[in-house]
Structure 1
Amino acid sequence: MRNIAIPFFTFLMAVFALSSCRQDGAAPIRNIKAGPSLLRAQAGGACQNCTYRFGTEQKNLGNVYTKQLVVAFAEGLSAADEDAVMAQYKFISGKNGQLSSNSAILHNIALVDGLNCKQVELAMELLAEDPGIAYVAPYFLNESGLLGISNEAIVTIEEGAAEALGALAEGYGAEVLMPLSGQTYLVRVDKSSAGNALELANYLNGEKGIVHAEPDFLVSVDMPAARVAVKKLIR
């Protein structure tokens, strides 16, 4: 695969310009024990309003869901190690089941009541700094249930554009894993990438050689109190 140099400043500006989330106002912060960093968040701070592309349409996801996150722990951790990682954060109330993507075991992490969307965004930033966590991403709530952002995007390219996809993925800090069928590929991100799978998909859409990209959504048909989550691709 041929490496293509991407100027760092130009790349950052492109990611910012094509971001799938814009800022909205947050609800007032409630006085809960969620850790000092979260409690210092400003009540009038802005939350991200997220979208994704489905065919020629732009679908709205809204603000992050405030009761559950998607987390992949670092490889090699035992269940006790994972529990020890979570115990450091007062905004986590526990695990709420797990499911698998093609490349990772993903955990539903339940959050304490009373957080607003801005606090959840800050919680994700804190978790991403933890060496025991390899990936963290939000859930969104819509009429289909809870939509989680897995660590993978599904990307369809033009014929002969595999090298271009590889260069785009490398510049983003992502990895092309495998062809799924024909010209459709699976691309993986982690916390060291420029964004999660939703942000990667929105970045790739419109790039030369890319026909379509979307995150491989996790669909939880029940609220976080339930213990079973079902994974499928949103069509």
Structure 2
Amino acid sequence: MTRPIRVLIADDQSLVRAGFRMLIDSEPDMKVVGEASDGATAADLARDTRPDVVLMDVQMPGTDGLEGIRRIAADADLESVRILILTTFDDDAYAVEGINAGASGFLLKNTDPAQLLHGIRLVAGGGELLASGLTRRLIAGFAVPPQAAADDTVFGVLTAREREVVALVAQGLDNEQITQRLCISMATTKTHVSRALSKLGVRDRAQLVSVAYRHGLVQPPRTR
């Protein structure tokens, strides 16, 4: 039997945490392993409980969620922990700052429960999740200004095929779509993505997208 996805909830409101706990614990493939009311406690509990996914509120008293994300992302022992931001603030800057800090996704607290559960499963499996409207355009627009051309000091470690795969990831293609586009096997696609993550020193696909835009491998989509 596959072990359940271990989830840590970080939110300063006890009722919100209780609601998330009830929802998550009702799923046979998930288990809440801890609760925190600020970012510092979340980082400490992550070290103690080693969750698969942290649901992280952004605005909390004391140490906020963004700092909590940074602490978790900076800890080499927590490399496998994925972070999903949950907030009531539909603010593009929060999404981008959180992703650049190390989060794998962003959802609003008024998200449908089924979508939240889907998000947990998605990021636990190494995927990325951006809420409706919070697209790659936002990563391109709110991160540091993009380069005019690909920065070889960053992407020089990649093979030509790996660069191509990273560019397609940044454009929003999933592994199946990349496989079809390049006429390669799924295993080959996954290998290219995995090697690119390792060579560029990023945690997951969300950070891969950010790096691709910030360092000029792909250009931001034009806005009308």
- TM-score with structure 1 length normalisation? 0.32
Q: Choose between structure 1 and 2 for higher RCO, CA contacts under 8 A separated by at least 6 residues.
A: 1
Which structure dedicates a bigger proportion of its chain to helix?
2
Which structure dedicates a bigger proportion of its chain to strand?
1
- TM-score with structure 2 length normalisation? 0.33
